[in-house]
Amino acid sequence: MIIKLNESHRESILNYLYKDASYNIFPIGDIETFGFNQDFQRVYAEISESGQYLSMFLRYRENAIYYADQLRFNLDYLTIFEQDPFEFISGKTELMALVQPHLKDFEQKHMYFCEAHTLNANHESSVEIQKL
C-alpha cells in the first residue's frame, strides 16, 4: 500500500532513511527542514501489511527521489507520477532501472555518488592572483 505521509510519520520514515543515511542525505534534509506541510514538497511511502517501509518517493519542487532498501518498484507509484508530475527523478542505478522503462519522456543520465569517510582539516591550498 502506498500512502502520502504526514507529520505523524516523521520519526518512522526518518528511521527508515537513516539506515542508508549517506545515500539519503537529500530526502532526510528535505524532510527535516520542510516537513510534510509544504506546497512544494510531498512524501509518499509504500508500507507492508506489517507496517514496515518498503520504499519512499519524495517530490520536491520539480525534482523527485525514489528510494527502496530492496530491489523493488511498486507500479502503483505510476498513478502518483501522473498526478504529481516532475521534471527530474533520481535514485540508485539499480532502482532507476526498474523505474525508467515507465518514464517515456525522460532521458537517463548517469551521475556519480561520492562519500567521504574522513576529512583532512589541515589540507592547504594556495591561489595565485595576477593583475591583468
Write the pLDDT tens digit of every residue in 55-68.
999 999 999 999 99
Q: For 63-108, where are the alpha helices, taking DSSP H only?
A: 77-83, 93-99
Span 11-35, average pLDDT: 96
Span 84-110, average pLDDT: 88
Evaluate if residue 108 carries a pLDDT over 80: no
More confident residue, 50 or 128: 50
Every domain of the chain and the residues it spans:
2-102
Evaluate if residue 121 carries a pLDDT over 90: no
Q: For 19-118, where are the alpha helices, taking DSSP H only?
A: 25-34, 77-83, 93-99
pLDDT of residue 125: 59
Amino acid letter for position 45: A
d(CA 130, CA 132): 6
pLDDT of residue 105: 82
